[in-house]
Amino acid sequence: MVKIILKYFIVFLVLFSACIYAQPTTFVRTNASAKKVKVKQPFELRISVYTSTWFTSAPNLDHIVIPNALTIRKDRAQGIYETINNVRYTILYFDFFVFPLKQGELTIPQITLNYSTPEEGDYKGKEVTRKTKPFKIIVEKPDDGFVLSDWLVAKSFFVTESWNKKLSGLKVGDVIERTVTIKAAGTIGPLIPESDSIDVPNAKTYYKTPVIKSKIIDDAPVGERIEKMTYLLEKPGELIIPERKYSWWNPATKRIYVRRLAERKILVEDNPDLAILKSIQDSLDAINKAAQTEQVEEKPFTIFGLLVWQFIILIGVLLVVLNQFRKIILVIIKKVNERKAAYLQSEKFYFKEFGKAFKQNNLFVVQNKLLEWYYKLNEENHLIPVKEFFARYGDDELLNVYNLFEEILFGKDKPGKEFPTAKLFNLIKVARKNYLNQKKLPASVNLLKINP
């Protein structure tokens, strides 16, 4: 009895081990660059995805939503390799800048990632879902004396002004436009406080909608705010535009800094021509009023110059034409989408992606894209090893260059060593062409080549 139980137990262990071996080891990790920050002070959030094979489709993490915070993607996904407990992992990591908007505890929520990765010993990707673990960041309030709307966190700050015309020789009735440009490193445009709205005596002020920009420069966020103010000069004399003060907190020095736009005085001269313009305007108003009181000959009601029944017929014809046009457009869109979908699954597309991989200067990426293309090329036939394929349809030079590629990739030297990538790609292109040309030949010709 004991022997029978032991026998079944051993069989179970063998089957269980086989199942475990077939599954790729894949998991996700998250980490933040800081555990405590101030309101609007950014910190970096990294989401890393590991697999013991490779990725056939990457997680879609163009944007993440964190309550009470703004996020901006730092860069596109980066790929590296790392060995953990004697297991070599392909790793994709996504970096974000997170800007807390409220003091207290900021919760980084659970994030669901969907991607595809092959099982051990296979090449076809299978969909996988993994979730990150939520964690918290402490967010402190602004320094004393600051309200949240005026609080700015930045590593550097610049403010300049410009005018659309010279500020000399101005007269009553002239219109001048002032542009204030604010640039701050270490933040984003929406977090730059707006300038104080100040009414200027002797002029009417009009504020335009500000232009707000955000971008990443040298792996750091940079925000920009462009404000435009238009002044209509209404009275002669000295026009005084008050000084503007801007302050920010530098997280590196933990100090408050202040920068100012100096007060500006503009001399506005009287404009004698305004009386003539006013007289002309009054005359035009009187003429317009008199014209409106004249009796107008009654005419039949028209729409765009057409009688009602003519307009209805025109609308009917237009609706019929538009409906036929819509049907044609839908057919065209359907055919375009079908062709696009077929192309994205074609061997030609995978070979093109393989060619693009050389531009990333990462030989591991090149190796992955090479295998993806090769499996697509041979998916309808029995697979043969890559080297055998190169030997059959390429030449000795291709084998020598590919052997050098594998030595650099899997040898002691780190990937990135100088390697003739363009040469390898061109040689593989020739082998691919030879293979495709042979497929076009009649079956009898191929058999003769195999069995002469």
Q: How many residues does the chain have?
A: 452
H/E element, 295: none
What's the whole-number average pLDDT of the chain? 82
Q: What is the pLDDT of residue 211?
A: 94
Contacts of 51 (CB under 8 A, 6+ apart): 24, 25, 26, 89, 90, 117
Cα torsion 44, 49, 54, 56: sign: negative
Is the pLDDT higher at 8 or at 445? 8
Select, from the ranges 27-41, 191-205, 285-299, the one with the highest average predicted confidence (pLDDT). 27-41
- pLDDT band for position 14 (cuts 50, 70, 90): very low
Rounded Cα gap, residues 73 and 97, in angstroms: 6
**Nearest Cα to 379, choosing from 354, 347, 353, 348?**
347
The two structure tokens encoding residue 30: 């998250």
Q: What number is the average pLDDT over the span 70-88?
A: 88
**Nearest Cα to 239, choosing from 291, 317, 176?**
176
Per residue in 91-140, pLDDT (tens digit) is 999 999 999 999 999 999 999 999 999 988 788 889 999 999 999 999 99
Nearest-10 Cα torsion for 437, 438, 439, 445: 140
Q: What is the pLDDT of residue 307?
A: 78
Q: Which amino acid is at 195?
A: S
In angstroms, the Cα distances linking 164 to 9, 167, 201, 270, 280 are: 87, 9, 20, 21, 29
Q: What is the pLDDT of residue 285?
A: 57
Per residue in 348-361, pLDDT (tens digit) is 888 888 888 888 77
Q: Are 62 and 91 in contact (CB under 8 A)?
A: no
Residue 295's region, left for phi above 0, alpha for psi from -120 to 50, else beta, is: beta
The two structure tokens encoding residue 81: 């390799």
Q: What is the pLDDT of residue 39?
A: 95
- pLDDT band for position 407 (cuts 50, 70, 90): confident
Strands (E), 164-286: 170-171, 175-185, 203-207, 211-217, 220-233, 237-241, 244-250, 255-261, 264-269
Is the pLDDT higher at 415 or at 218? 218
Select, from the ranges 52-61, 104-113, 166-175, the one with the highest average predicted confidence (pLDDT). 104-113
Is the pLDDT at 172 greater than 50, yes or no?
yes
Q: Which amino acid is at 250?
A: N
- pLDDT band for position 387 (cuts 50, 70, 90): confident
- pLDDT band for position 227 (cuts 50, 70, 90): very high
Q: What is the pLDDT of residue 287?
A: 56
With vertex at residue 110, the alpha carbon angle to CA 104 and CA 113, rounded to the nearest 5 degrees, is 145
Rounded Cα gap, residues 139 and 41, in angstroms: 9
Question: Over the range 140-154, which residues count as b (16 or more CB within 10 Å of their CB) and which as e?
Answer: eebeeeeeeeebbbb
Q: Which CATH number fits domain 148-269: 1.10.3470, 2.60.40, 2.40.128, 2.40.30?
A: 2.60.40
Domain 20-140 has CATH 1.10.760: no
Is the pLDDT at 290 greater than 60, yes or no?
no
Contacts of 347 (CB under 8 A, 6+ apart): 373, 376, 377
Is the pLDDT at 185 greater than 60, yes or no?
yes
